[in-house]
Chains A and B, each alone.
Chain A
């Protein structure tokens, strides 16, 4: 009797998510095998693997895959490394610590479209931007960030957004660290680095797992920042898989090829998720 009630309580969530996953996914699979261009309606014949071939041979395909992975790994590294360092820095009380916390968390609440617009215009503009002004004041040639280093610009924007998340998770984690253990280590002559390396970092293993997991979910799908700032360009230099598919579907109206691309994105996410859940899943309490 009890089993059936608990199943009943779970049913809405499970069924809705199942539908949310299966219905669109099967439609995507179906679309990927037919000729389906919104500009030429009524010619939806079966074409087999053609859409996949077309998507793979797109000059942007491999660039997009590698850009997606570079973006993911760079942002993960930046946010985790800087996040651990900065959270260790603000762990002990100092004047105005609460204000510092508030300032540090703020970028997390800025919406991606605004984030990209601030950085693209007010920070990175090669003529009027703050960076250009700093370069000029130092007597250097201003850098045209979005044209010369498009992917790096996107990495900066996305890292800026996610660093606060990492810092705050780590700060909360550090507060639960055993101070007696630290003091004992100090008594035994351990220096600051040793304490950080052998006590603090292992203590952070689980929070790091959480940060990596959550960020990966969002980083594989970075879209708005690219859409608003570089538009994937110049060329394919800042196009990730999400943006390539969007381009295919909504700018070239080719639903068939876009669906094939969507399946590649699903495949890539599954590969990443497979390794991630193996590496990180152990550290998550379920």
Chain B
């Protein structure tokens, strides 16, 4: 075998192995997706059925039984609301730490991240009681506030690592022209870091969409986002896998498709500036 043939064979084997792993890891999602088009009987048949006549009945049942659209709307409002609010609060902070670092900047950043380490269960009871007293239980506004605070440290950190990589010379040039720090931020830094802000926002949206702890504990029928709606299908009232799959597919499809389109930006954000 010549060297090029050897190399081709190697690429082929690597490709095959990668495909096998990818299909294996993706299989649960694929299975959920096709089960959602089965009848309940087909869903639990042994051996599992790969080919069958698809039905859309489960989706209509899910919409009727648990009002999918309402919960999907709750998810959209809370995810986007919290993300926008958090960005507005975080951008000035990240900007000031990246461009005017003081002696304690590093400590402040680590402290912010350490607040994420504070386990949610540790403060579940007080948050529950505060929400109750201020009428924020089972309200979208309550969730938006919690999600904003929950993601704020990560958002500040990510924005900080983007801003830090911007060339300092541009800012100095702007300052020579008499720009104030506020002008610099709005007119120079923001336009230059649209990409970074977008990836940060995307990650925040994904984290909010999939947040389950606070959604399960602080909402009931009115403001429950999709994560909480799905949990209602875990009750052991029998095997309704087709409907469960339909509900799950509906709950995950928006964010999975969203993620597929934005994966490049998302990944960049996820590395927290540790990877150039």
Q: CB within 8 A of A20: which of B31, B93, B149?
A: B149
Specify which chain B residues have a CB less than 8 angstroms from the CB of A283 in the assembled complex.
274
* Stretch from B54-62, B100-108, B136-144, B190-198 contacting the other chain: B100-108
Q: CB within 8 A of A14: which of B18, B93, B164?
A: B93
Would you call A63 an interface residue if the criterion is a C-beta within 8 Å of the partner chain's C-beta atoms? Answer: no
- Closest chain A CB from B149 CB (angstroms): 4
* Stretch from A41-49, A120-128, A193-201 contacting the other chain: A120-128
Give the CA-CA distance A113 to B276 in the complex, in Å: 34
Q: Mark A12-37, 1 if CB is under 8 A from B, else 0.
A: 11101100110111011001000000
Q: Which range holds the interface residue count of chain B? A: 35 or more
Specify which chain B residues have a CB less than 8 angstroms from the CB of A127 in the assembled complex.
46
Q: Is the CB of B125 within 8 A of A258?
A: yes
- Closest chain B CB from A75 CB (angstroms): 15
Q: Is the CB of B227 within 8 A of A224?
A: yes
Specify which chain B residues have a CB less than 8 angstroms from the CB of A229 in the assembled complex.
234
Q: Is the CB of A17 within 8 A of B153?
A: yes
Give the CA-CA distance A187 to B123 in the complex, in Å: 58
Give the CA-CA distance A281 to B109 in the complex, in Å: 11
- Closest chain B CB from A145 CB (angstroms): 14
Q: Mark B204-244, 1 if CB is under 8 A from A, else 0.
A: 00100110110011000000001110110110000101001
Specify which chain B residues have a CB less than 8 angstroms from the CB of A117 in the assembled complex.
230, 233-234, 244, 248
Give the CA-CA distance A32 to B3 in the complex, in Å: 71
Q: Mark A140-180, 1 if CB is under 8 A from B, else 0.
A: 00000000000000000000100111001101110010000
Q: CB within 8 A of A265: which of B89, B93, B121, B130?
A: B121
Give the CA-CA distance A23 to B14 in the complex, in Å: 54
Specify which chain A residues have a CB less than 8 angstroms from the CB of B149 in the assembled complex.
16-17, 20
User: Which B21-40 residues have a C-beta within 8 angstroms of A?
Assistant: 21-23, 25-26, 28-29, 31-32, 35
Main secondary structure of the interface of A (DSSP, over half): helix
Q: How many residues of A contact B (CB 8 A)?
A: 110
Instruction: Please give me the residue from chain A that is nearest to B11 by CB atom.
Output: A94
- Closest chain A CB from B165 CB (angstroms): 10
User: Which B93-117 residues have a C-beta within 8 angstroms of A?
Assistant: 93, 95-97, 100, 102, 105-106, 108-110, 112-117
Q: Is the CB of B119 within 8 A of A109?
A: no
Give the CA-CA distance A27 to B93 in the complex, in Å: 28
Give the CA-CA distance A196 to B22 in the complex, in Å: 22
Specify which chain A residues have a CB less than 8 angstroms from the CB of B180 in the assembled complex.
5
Specify which chain B residues have a CB less than 8 angstroms from the CB of A137 in the assembled complex.
47
Give the CA-CA distance A17 to B150 in the complex, in Å: 9
Instruction: Please give me the residue from chain B that is nearest to A115 by CB atom.
Output: B28
A residues near B, CB below 8 A? 2-3, 5-7, 9-10, 12-14, 16-17, 20-21, 23-25, 27-28, 31, 86, 89-90, 92-97, 99-114, 116-123, 127-128, 130, 132-133, 136-137, 160, 163-165, 168-169, 171-173, 176, 206-207, 209-210, 213-214, 216-217, 220-221, 223-224, 227-229, 241-242, 245-246, 249-250, 255, 258-259, 261-263, 265-266, 268-270, 272-273, 277, 281, 283-286
Known: A101-B263, A160-B28. 8 other contacts (CB 8 A): A6-B102, A16-B152, A94-B11, A118-B31, A223-B120, A266-B118, A269-B117, A286-B106
